[in-house]
């Protein structure tokens, strides 16, 4: 994700690069969502199979609040 942010900054300038939301589309689960969202260059998730389980999805949904990244 850091490389994506660096590309955006170098290609479009820091104002655009830093204001663009970068969405993580890898394997997001309840047990790794808080660690992932706490990374500087991840602004959100594209949740796949974990969204099929309501409890798992709710835990992922609340991950930013657990890391103070809203």
How many structural domains compose the chain? 1
pLDDT of residue 69: 66
pLDDT of residue 66: 78
According to the model, what pLDDT value does residue 70 have? Answer: 62
As to burial, measured by CB atoms within 10 angstroms (0-12 exposed, 13-18 middle, 19+ buried), residue 41 is middle
pLDDT of residue 1: 85
> Which structural domain range is residue 41 located in?
2-66
Share of the chain above pLDDT 70, in %: 97
Share of the chain above pLDDT 90, in %: 83
Mean local confidence (pLDDT), 8-31:
95
For residue 59, the model assigns a pLDDT of 94
Query: How far apart, in whole angstroms, are the C-alpha atoms of residue 31 and residue 28?
Result: 8
């Amino acid at each position: 994700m850091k490389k994506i942010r660096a590309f955006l900054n170098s290609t479009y300038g820091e104002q655009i690069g830093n204001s663009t939301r970068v969405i993580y589309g890898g394997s997001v689960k309840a047990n790794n969502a808080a660690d992932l969202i706490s990374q500087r260059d991840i602004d959100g998730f594209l949740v796949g199979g974990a969204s099929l389980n309501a409890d798992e999805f709710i835990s992922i949904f609340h991950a930013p609040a657990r890391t103070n990244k809203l």
